[in-house]
Amino acid sequence: MHVLAAGCIIMGLLFSSSVFATSTTSQIDEAKSLAGTDPRKALHLLSLIENSAAKNDALLQAEKDLLKCEILVDNDDPKEALKSTSPYLGHASLPPNVLMNLELCHFSALEASGQATKAMEGLTYLLEKSRKLNLPAQQGKAHLNMGQLLSYQNQFSESLKHLLQAKEIFKKLQDSNEERITLNSIAVLYGRMGEHERALEYFAEVLQKNRDLNKTRNVAVVLYNMGRRYEDLNQFEKSREHFTESLKIHRELGNTKSIAVVERALGSLYNSMNQPLKALEHLKTAVTTLEGMNLPKSLGQLYFELGRTYAKLGDNKQALLNLKKAHGLNSNPNSVQLAADIFSEESRIYQSSGQWKQAYAALEGFKKYSDQMHVIRADEQLRQLNFKFDLGKKEEANRILKAQNQSQERQLQDAHRIQRLQLMSLSLIALLLSVTAIFTIRQVRTARRMRELAMTDELTRIPNRRHVLEYGAQSLSTSQRQGKGMSVIIFDIDHFKRINDTFGHAVGDEVIKRVAEIGQKALRKGDMIGRIGGEEFLSILPFTDPLPAKEVAERIRREISLCDFTDLAPNLTVTVSAGVSCYTATDKQGNIDSLIQQADEALYSVKQNGRNGVSLRLVS
């Protein structure tokens, strides 16, 4: 009787264990079905598998943790994904195919967390291992993961080779789900290459497969990718339609981060369509979401887009504030394009508001990063060129193979086809050289603009002290070589401190600007005027003898004294005092410093004698 009871207990335990296992399997199956539509609910279901029967079933635990890893990687949480797979590394007791699936997900999580080198080493090892063990499904997944990783490393030809091998393997295995994922990766690759129309063909096929399989989240992701490609083709309305449909699905699924990503994309699109108010609406929604997440790269791109939007709306203060935030978050050394874009936008805003020093500093930042971008783009274009050439060679080789048994005429046609391919490659190389030439021209223009900013007085827009002194030294050297005279005029505004104290600094600045304008108009061709101090100006008069130089100084003094300044402030009158010094052809040892010193002494004598006058002094 005890034996019978014991037997019943054992049978009961076995039955109970079987029931638990069946229950756990159904929970895993339900989580799989929810992974693409409601990943949070799927993860919650997996967390409920805590009964002892499931814990003691190593295969069920492995299946659960594999699914958990895949969901976490798909939803941008690679750190948590690594926690679910790390305990299995080197777990010899599991079947090889189960262990390899876990390892594949582990290396995908490594790649997603930025450890690309480790991921590539692991995938290379798994690819060789799957070949030796004759595990085609795992071999296909290894090819797929390597293709995806190589695509992000801009190794386009190698990427396509692995992706096509994966596609062929999954097709033979009749694994429609993995084949669909591979097709999507091929579409992404063509998009990264700039082959947007070809990418859209693949995306359209993947979109239909996702709809047929009711993969709602994947449908939203593909719609977003298609929107990006249409935007690259400047087909803005189609892009907007795809983004809008993607956003609607993500909202229904409650995918918070994905909602913010699509909102940002719509904001950027509306900026391209010159509709900044609509852009601002979407970008504000996105920033509310992303500010609560630890996603500095995405948030940095978002603040840049907000900066662009506020600039389009004329709110430079908010524009610069958001661009500053973008700078602070753009710590990734690989985000060269974003850094260049931020500096470029800042420079444009500062120039539009007349803040030339800040514009110059921003231009320096833009130049630094645009130089790096030139190198990166040239490398990418070369990789794309090699990819297109390799792809063309493969396609041509296939056509030649099929044509081997055909007539000589067909063989001649194939030869012509190869020739056209070579011409196409040469055309692409010429295009690359053209792009390089355009970039060089732009760099020269930027350098010229930067020099102009460095040599110009910010307030008056006439030459600054450095510029006018350089011109004076050059002019004196030329005069000495040719045995001719040269003159300089120094003049400043009388009682300028009183003007500032009485009428304010804003009026004082306007007085300086107007005096500079009058002084410039009074000069002759070849003369130069520059601002060398607060209210002090220096004029260089090449090849000019003493009396003509004094006449020019007198003309400047007279024009300023006759000018009406009452529009700036009631009862405001302005006069200047001028000192003139001249270098004569007989003085071979003169220098610009002594010439300016003599003019300054002449100016001082005018000040001593009541101001509003001109004094001439020859260099002894």
Question: What are the pLDDT digits (tens) for 303-328?
Answer: 888 999 998 899 999 989 998 888 88
User: Are 300 and 338 spatial neighbours (Cβ–Cβ below 8 Å)?
Assistant: yes
Q: How far apart, in Å, are the Cα atoms of 142 and each of 17, 136, 170?
A: 35, 10, 12
Question: Is residue 568 very low, low, confident or very high in pLDDT (cuts 50, 70, 90)?
Answer: very high
Structure confidence at residue 7 as a pLDDT band (50, 70, 90): very low
Task: Give the alpha-carbon dihedral of 582, 587, 588, 592, to 10 degrees.
Answer: -30
- Distance from C-alpha of 186 to C-alpha of 167, rounded to nearest angstrom: 9
**How far apart (Å, rounded) are the C-alpha atoms in residues 67 and 44?**
12
Whether the predicted pLDDT of 443 surpasses 90: no
The pLDDT mean for the chain works out to 82
pLDDT confidence of residue 86 = 84
Phi and psi (nearest 5°) for 274?
60, 45
Q: What is the pLDDT of residue 50?
A: 53
Instruction: Read off the pLDDT band of 11 (50, 70, 90).
Output: very low
pLDDT band at 1 (very low <50, low <70, confident <90, very high): very low
Does residue 343 surpass a pLDDT of 90? no
How far, in Å, CA of 179 to CA of 503, rounded?
78
Mind spelling out the 3-state secondary structure of 393-424? Answer: HHHHHHHHHHCCCCCHHHHHHHHHHHHHHHHH
**H helix and E strand count, the chain:** 25, 5
User: How far is it between the farthest Cα atoms of the chain?
Assistant: 139
Cα 616–Cα 618–Cα 620 angle in degrees, nearest 5: 150
State the Cα–Cα distance between residues 127 and 446, nearest whole angstrom. 50
pLDDT at 52: 40
Average pLDDT over residues 481-492: 93
Contact 287, 306 (CB under 8 A): yes
Averaged pLDDT for residues 369-375: 61
Q: Cα(545)–Cα(552) distance, rounded to whole angstroms?
A: 11
Q: Write out the two tokens for 253.
A: 């699924």
Q: Could you tell me the pTM of the whole model?
A: 0.56
Return the pLDDT at 444: 66
What does 192-230 look like in DSSP terms, one character per residue? HHT-HHHHHHHHHHHHHHHHHTT-HHHHHHHHHHHHHHH
Whole-angstrom CA distances from 306 to 152, 171, 299, 540 are 27, 45, 10, 48
Specify whether the CB–CB gap between 546 and 595 falls below 8 A.
no
Question: Is 528 in a helix, a strand, or coil?
Answer: strand
3 pLDDT tier (thresholds 50, 70, 90): very low
Minimum mean pLDDT among 21-30, 39-48, 386-395, 527-536: which range? 386-395
22 has a pLDDT exceeding 60: no
The whole-number pLDDT of residue 464 equals: 92
